[in-house]
Amino acid sequence: MIWVTWRQFRTTILFGVLTPLLLAAITIAITLIDGGVAPIPALQGCLGIGEDYCTAETAQSLAILLTIALPVVFGAFVGVTVFSRDLERRTHVLGLTQSVSRRRWYGVRVLVVFVPTILAMALLGCALYWAKYRTSPGTFAFMSTGESRLDFPTFGATGFVAGGYTAVGLTLGAACALAMRNTIAAMITTVVVSTAFLALLPTQIREHYDTPMVETRTLEQKVNDMYGGAPDYYRPMNSISIYPRWNVSSDYVDGQGTPVAIDLQQCAWPDNYRDMSEFETVAQYEEYSELRIAEDARIQIDCIRTQGAEAFETEYHEDRLFWRFQAMETALTLVIAALLGGLSLVLVRRLRP
């Protein structure tokens, strides 16, 4: 049965296995040839024409985007087609009328086609993690150094969680194929549902894997930062953490910690701003600007406090939780894949030869 399945789906298996392995090999090769990741502050620094020192960063960014998309692609073109083609051609009748149980008919395809693809995707994610952080940890995220490894899309494309995403995509595609028995309809449904699921994880689910830490700042501290302050790149290098935190929410809160909606349009902003041309010297204008900024900050603080806010709270997860969150999200996706597999077994039992 295993040999027959391999002969029937060898092209699909090679597509599912070689695609992530080839992507991993190319990314690692480019990274090694280019000498690793350069200590640049942002991906935007690699977008200039003729910037040949950014080859590794560009390759890794493209690999991350492709890795995020591959579970959806595999779900539609591997998970669906492994079952839908037989159902449409009714060639499944040959297998079900022989001495092969329905459970085995389904299970062998999962073992021979799905499992190697899942393992290849997990290997791709681990390879991208190694390539990205092997030379200059924390100096290059996806867009800037201010991003945490827990952010989208870095989290889903590095580490072994990509294998869990692929398991969900493949089993979802199989369930859609068995339920709809139409390749195009099953593909469309798989793409829509799996994309929505992958979007739901970083936006609604991941932040609840652990209790977030809370940073509380006074209104004066918050507003003063808005009107001035020292950005990270002006601080001493030893004062900047290698892995930044992942902010999950930021809100003005009242005395009980309840979020308060603030409308700055309600503030009594002055309308008598003076133009630079009204001053005789630049020094006079700069002095006026400093006084005006201080007055605007005071007005904003009073306005925010009048609307019921007492402080500004930021909930965040420390970046050191990366591997714990990887394990939890992988376990979650594998449980969902198992449930979809159980649904597929129910649908297989209802097939009529």
Q: DSSP string covering 139-197, please?
A: S--SSBTT--TTSTTHHHHSSTHHHHHHHHHHHHHHHHHHHH--HHHHHHHHHHHHHHH
Residue 24 lies in a domain: yes
Looking at the structure, do residues 284 and 150 belong to the same domain, yes or no? no
Contact 210, 323 (CB under 8 A): no
pLDDT by residue (tens digit) across 57-105? 788 889 999 999 999 999 999 999 999 888 777 665 555 556 667 788 8
Burial class (CB in 10 A: 0-12, 13-18, 19+), 291: exposed
| Same domain for 140 and 66 | yes
Burial 227-244 (b: 16+ CB within 10 A, else e): eeeeeeeeeeeeeeeebb
Task: Write the single-letter amino acid at 282.
Answer: V
In this model, does residue 297 exceed pLDDT 50? yes
Q: Six-digit token pair at 56?
A: 């590794």
> Do 227 and 313 belong together in one domain?
yes
Structure confidence at residue 51 (pLDDT): 53
Do residues 207 and 110 lie in contact, with contact meaning Cβ atoms separated by under 8 Å?
no
Q: Is residue 108 part of a domain?
A: yes
Q: What is the DSSP letter of 280?
A: S
pLDDT exceeds cutoff 60 at 4: yes
Instruction: Note whether 175 and 272 are same-domain residues.
Output: no
Identify whether residues 83 and 179 lie together within a single domain.
yes
Domain contains 51: yes
110 and 30 inside one domain: yes
Domain count, the chain: 2
pLDDT of residue 235: 45
183-190 — which CB contacts under 8 Å span 24+ positions?
Answer: 183/80, 183/81, 183/84, 183/85, 183/88, 186/80, 186/84, 187/76, 187/77, 187/80, 190/72, 190/75, 190/76, 190/79, 190/80
Q: Which residue has the higher pLDDT, 33 or 49?
A: 33
Mean of the per-residue pLDDT values of the chain: 84
- 330 and 273 share one domain: no
Asked if residue 346 is part of any domain, the answer here is yes
Residue 353 CB neighbours (<10 A): 11
Structure-token match 């041309």, residue found: 277
- Candidate from 22-26, 36-40, 115-119, 290-294 with smallest mean pLDDT: 36-40
Domain extent, residue 302, equals 213-318
- Give ∠ CA 21-104-18 in degrees, rounded to 5: 10
Helix (H) or strand (E) run with residue 251 in it: strand 246-253
Instruction: Mark whether 6 and 137 lie in a shared domain.
Output: yes
What is the C-alpha to C-alpha distance for residues 114 and 122, in angstroms, rounded to an integer? 13
Whether the CB-CB separation of 164 and 332 falls below 8 Å is answered with yes
Q: Which pLDDT belongs to residue 101?
A: 76
Which residues partner with 42 through β-bridges? 144
How does residue 48 score in pLDDT terms, banded at 50, 70 and 90?
Answer: very low
Structure tokens at 62: 């493209």
The pLDDT tens digits for 218-249 are 998 888 877 765 444 444 444 444 447 899 99
The reply to whether 33 and 178 lie within a common domain is yes
Q: Residue 52: CB partners within 8 Å, gap ≥ 6?
A: none
- Is there a cis peptide before residue 153, judged by omega within 30 degrees of 0? yes
Q: Based on the domain organization, do 5 and 100 belong to the same domain?
A: yes
Within a domain: 208:
no
Tens digit of each residue's pLDDT (9 = 90 or more) over 157-216? 999 999 999 999 999 999 999 999 899 999 999 999 999 999 999 999 999 999 999 999
Pairing mode, strands 213-218 and 311-317: antiparallel
Q: Are residues 300 and 333 in the same domain?
A: no
Q: How far apart are CA 203 and CA 102, in angstroms?
A: 38
For the beta carbon of residue 219, count every other beta carbon within 10 angstroms: 19
* Structural domain contains residue 99: yes
Q: Is residue 309 part of a domain?
A: yes
Residue 181 lies in a domain: yes
Q: What whole-number distance in Å separates Cα of residue 144 and Cα of residue 167? A: 30
299, 163: one domain: no
